[in-house]
Amino acid sequence: MTFATLALADGTVLTGQAFGAETDSVFELVFNTSMTGYQEIITDPSYRGQGVLFTASHIGNVGINLEDDESAAPQVSAVVMRALSPVVSNWRASASLTDWLGQRGIPGISGVDTRFLTHKLRDGGTQKAALSTCGTPPEKLLQLVRDWPGLDGRDMVKEVTCAEPYRWNGDEGNRWVENVKRLPGSSVDQFKPDNRKTGKLLNVIAYDFGIKENILRHLASYGADVTVVPADTSAAEALALHPDGVFLSNGPGDPAGLPYAVAAVRELIASGVPLFGICLGHQLIGRALGAATYRLKFGHHGGNHPVQHLPSGNVLITAQNHNYCVSPADLNPDEVEITYKSLNDDSLEGLRLKNKPVFSVQFHPEAAPGPHDAQRLFGEFFQMMKANPA
């Protein structure tokens, strides 16, 4: 058995069993409360620079398959868990979690008290941490933690965005995307996209700040011809592609470290093109409208976060993954409607412009493996594009 050492910035040191790669890693440690979907979580680019502590006690039993990745490789810096399954038992599995992480340079530690760690992060806030699976002593790990600059103010998007524009030619999400169901009290009727049947695809430009593949599946499934562009694409370059709408993706890190993206979003808003943002894309819209963003104490990470749709009063269970939030006090109420709030901490979870075709949400309506309460938001985006004059 190979031992691993986890050191936190406050001096806490834990030992456990090593799995995955034999290496050292420094990161921001966050906890995720999802009960399923560890492969999707580990491959989510929004986790760049972070180590994920799973609150679910048993991880790895379904192995890794070739279909459920949200990006081409693991994006987390480390994996922390209570118990690693010694057996892989799923007909779709092509590798074990430990072999897959080992081949891709990601270390893991199991056999630690994840309840203790979760309480520590929840009560004291997110911490910097370091993990060694190759015998590095605790005092050196603590020095690595102290020397690491952290994520605040850094541009982490440049590490995950695409290098060149490309057209999404992957599947249309038929195995992942459900029919959108009408929510009680909603003004949005059941939306069944017919663009695929008629061949009249809408031209959607998707900014890649760390985009998840299930977002691209949803856009394609609803009837979009999707072109993905790098994060530093200017508004003029995006508009030159004559989009019916522009999508702003999720992504890692601090939105304050992306002034070039905020400038582009501000110009896109002014252009009148329909605009839909998720997660980091939502935060960039907020900053483009003049709002500050701030760090949450321990972030929102998991698949069980309740948010309320304020116009209707309906409550959705959502998937979330973010450490930063838009300040609602900075938004002009004459121009911006707050559409969603978190029922855990009252933080802003969605907004809509009153006089322009622009809306955004902090949560993930495309969530894989779920929940699927908010999938209808893609339908709203397509309705908005269809209603917008050319």
CB atoms inside a 10 Å sphere around CB 32: 27
Beta strand 78-80 with 107-110: parallel, antiparallel or unpaired? parallel
CB 131 within 8 A of CB 24: yes
Can 279 be counted among the known catalytic residues? yes
Q: What are phi and psi of 167, to 5 degrees?
A: -95, 130
What residue type is assigned to position 266 of the chain?
Answer: R
Can 159 be counted among the known catalytic residues? no
| Buried/exposed 74-91: b ≥16 CB within 10 Å, e otherwise | bbbbbbbbbbbbeebeee
Determine the Cα–Cα distance for residues 79 and 39; give it in Å rounded to an integer.
11
Question: Which residues are CB-contacts of 281 (< 8 A; sequence separation ≥ 6)?
Answer: 207, 209, 247, 248, 249, 250, 251, 360
Can 282 be counted among the known catalytic residues? no
- DSSP helix/strand/coil, 195: helix
Q: Which of the following is catalytic: 28, 213, 349, 366?
A: 366
Q: Which of the following is catalytic: 282, 300, 322, 364?
A: 364
Where do runs of H (alpha helix) occur along 223-354?
A: 235-239, 259-271, 280-288
Q: What are phi and psi of 259, to 5 degrees?
A: -60, -35
Short-list 281, 352, 351, CA closest to 322: 281
Residue 349 in tokens? 């979870």
Q: What are phi and psi of 41, to 5 degrees?
A: -65, -50
Where do runs of H (alpha helix) occur along the chain?
A: 38-42, 97-103, 114-124, 138-147, 195-198, 213-221, 235-239, 259-271, 280-288, 376-387
Q: Which of the following is catalytic: 172, 279, 305, 380?
A: 279
Q: Which residues are catalytic?
A: 279, 364, 366
